[in-house]
Structure 1
Amino acid sequence: MSDIKPSDPLQEAGDYLRRFAYAFAALDAHNLDRLGELYSADLLFTDPLHEIRGLPAMSHYFAQLYAQVSELHFDFHGIDPVSKGEGYLRWTMRYRHPRLNGGRPIEVPGCSHLRWHSKVYYHHDYFDAGALLYEQLPLLGQVIGWLKRRLV
């Protein structure tokens, strides 16, 4: 009898998601050339505020993002494989922007839906765009806070 066990697609997907999360969390303004290790050239990235097609556009987006914030970090706290080549990562993004929230840290929870072959070709982020941006603006944030209190 052979010691070789059939591979478990969900375990493989979970391992891939862990490696991706670790590498993504290590990104910063000085190593954006590593995006090509994570994403395919024909990448489609979407979130509540953007739709980005292709690795060059993704690299440009990240370069602009890091140029605007004084701090950006992702803590991954959930790995949910769906099938071979597909899964979800749950995370909390922490960032600081000099013109938002008085320059104090902002935390936004979210989730990423990923599809990949050898690299990620589909990345869809889900998060509350209001908590990320609109609620952090001085006047608009007060109006949104008032509306939220009225709705509860």
Structure 2
Amino acid sequence: MTASSAGVSAEAIAHFRSLFQPLTHDGLTALAECYSDDVEFTDPLHHHVGRRAVMAYYRELMAEVSHCHFDFHQQHTQAERCFLEWTMHYAHPKVRSGRTLSVAGCSHLTWHDQRVCRHRDYYDVGEMLYEQLPLIGWAVRRIKQRL
């Protein structure tokens, strides 16, 4: 039985998770090694195909935020698929005066040969971004209250 048919190893997942505690510019080289060359990354705001594109996204993200780290709460693994439930804590100098904000989310990872080949993040963009902006935030929060 090959590594890919046996599913993802606990060690590969633990290593991947560790690189987000915190997510730093210095850790991006190690993070790149966790992804396959043809990885497909999707979140509510972005879609990138290929390791180079995904890592360019992470570099851009790290240039913008003051800090970013993830607390992982639940992990469910079956064969080559893994679901990670998390809370992201981040600070951006232009959002809420650089205060640390938190947003809950989940990552669906598909692994092949102990590397992530698909990474899909689910989270509330309103909670993460829109609700944090002046004027727009007030309107989004008001709409959510009425629903």
TM-score normalised by L of structure 2? 0.88
Find the partner of 1:37 among 33, 40, 50: 33
Percent identity for Structure 1 against Structure 2: 43
CA distance in 2, matches of 1:18, 1:47: 21
Q: Which of the pair has more CA radius of gyration?
A: 1
Match of 1:112 in 2: 107
Structure 1 segments (4+ residues) deviating >4 Å: 12-15
C-alpha separation between the residues in 1 aligned to 2:138 and 2:117?
Answer: 38
**Which digits, 9 at most, give the CA deviation of each residue in 1:31-61, with x for residues without a partner?**
3111222101100000100001111111111
Query: Which residue of 1 is the match for residue 142 of structure 2?
Result: 146
1:80-95 equivalent positions in 2, closer than 5 A: 80-81=76-77, 83-95=78-90
Q: What is the count of residue pairs matched by the alignment?
A: 141
Counterpart pick for 1:126 among 118, 122, 143: 122
**Contact 1:17–1:79 (8 Å) recurs in 2:** no
* Structure-1 residue corresponding to 2:3: none
Q: Secondary structure at the match of 1:49?
A: coil
Show structure 2 runs of 5+ residues with no match.
1-5
**Take 1:31 and 1:18, find their aligned partners in 2: how far apart are those partners?**
15
**Structure-1-length-normalised TM-score:** 0.85
- Counterpart of 2:17 in structure 1 is 21
Consecutive unaligned residues in structure 1, runs of 5 or more: 1-8
TM-fit CA distance, 1:16:
3.9
Decide whether the 8 Å contact of 1:90 with 1:110 is kept in 2: yes
Q: Which has the higher contact order (CA 8 A, sep 6+)?
A: 2
Aligned-residue offset at 1:79? 0.7
Where 2:25 maps in the other structure, the secondary structure is coil
Alignment partner for residue 61 of structure 1, among 32, 37, 57? 57
Task: Tell me if structure 1 keeps the 8 A contact 2:19–2:27.
Answer: no
- Cα deviation for residue 132 of structure 1 reads 1.0
- Asked whether the 8 Å contact 2:36–2:116 carries over to 1, the reply is yes
